[in-house]
Amino acid sequence: MKRRLYEISMDGGPLKLGRRTLVMGVVNVTLDSFSDGGDFYDTRVAIEQGLRLAQEGADILDIGGESTRPYSEPVSTEEELRRVIPVIEALAAEVSVPISIDTMKSEVAKRALDAGASMLNDVSALREDESMAEVAAETGVPLILMHMLGTPKTMQVSPAYRSLISEIISFLEERLTFAESRGVDLGQVIVDPGIGFGKTFDQNLTILNNLGMFAALDRPIMIGPSRKAFLGRILDKEDPKMRDIGTVACVAAGIINGCHLVRVHNAALGVQAARVADAIINEQVESY
């Protein structure tokens, strides 16, 4: 499937999407993330992980200080700031790739941008804190809006839809309209159907198999299937860290079905999968 080409403005040059898939590497500065909770809670270790992901080829680093795993509890603004700001400051001084802040709080977003981040990733799609829209509008940075059914604490309590894909598209359309009403330039927005966020195992597969339908939104598409529980069910792998090969399969399928960005924990494998899938859809072997 040939993807639409997009260009999003960023300090240091435009973010070009469509010819080559961009790989976003995850740094969870948390105690309870489902995939690696506690592994990178220490500031120094989190910084080292960010540097490692950049060395492995990640195009963007996504720093988060609040777990959004199913049934997770929120953390205070002060605690989230304590976790992420030192990591962002250190990485901004060391890496050339853009840094994204994964947060639902406008105060964390503002402080993170001041510390060196240049992208916002809001899994609540501006519902948790509507002031996030003002931050995005005032700064003009790229903004990721994700579909989630409910909140992290409630999203996996019997998720149900009448028409899965059309309901996700309608939700994202409404969120785009809201963002624009608050002054956000829609040319800066990326959409994410929210794999694993209020979906059954089978619904996650339906999303991956029907990503092309999200082209109707006319925005770049990001997916985050990395190490998710549905892969554990398919592969009979209880340990999330043993699901990276399954993640690679999802990355390749997602790219061939039309996504522009992939969010992964293992950047080295994600980059390799993306390059091969890109070569297939472009019908050309390129040197990166």
Determine the Cα–Cα distance for residues 72 and 26; give it in Å rounded to an integer.
18
Catalytic pick among 175, 227, 263, 275: 263
Which residue intervals of the chain are DSSP H helices? Answer: 43-55, 77-94, 106-115, 131-139, 164-181, 201-209, 229-235, 244-256, 267-282
Alpha-carbon Rg of the chain, whole angstroms? 17
Catalytic pick among 110, 228, 243, 275: 228
Q: Is 82 a catalytic residue?
A: no
Q: Is 263 a catalytic residue?
A: yes
Determine the Cα–Cα distance for residues 227 and 24; give it in Å rounded to an integer.
14
Residue 249's SS3 state is helix
Task: Estimate the crossing angle of helix 77-94 against helix 43-55, to 10 degrees.
Answer: 40
In 137-162, which positions are buried (b, 16+ CB within 10 angstroms) versus exposed (e)? bebebbbbbbbbbebbeebbeeeeee
Determine the Cα–Cα distance for residues 136 and 21; give it in Å rounded to an integer.
24
Determine the Cα–Cα distance for residues 100 and 43; give it in Å rounded to an integer.
17
**CB 9: neighbour CB atoms within 10 A?**
13
Query: Rounded to whole angstroms, what are the CA distances from 271 to 21, 42, 104, 128, 258?
Result: 9, 26, 27, 32, 16
Contact partners, residue 188, CB within 8 Å, separation at least 6: 8, 9, 136, 140, 141, 142, 143
Q: Where in the sequence numbering do the catalytic residues fall?
A: 228, 263
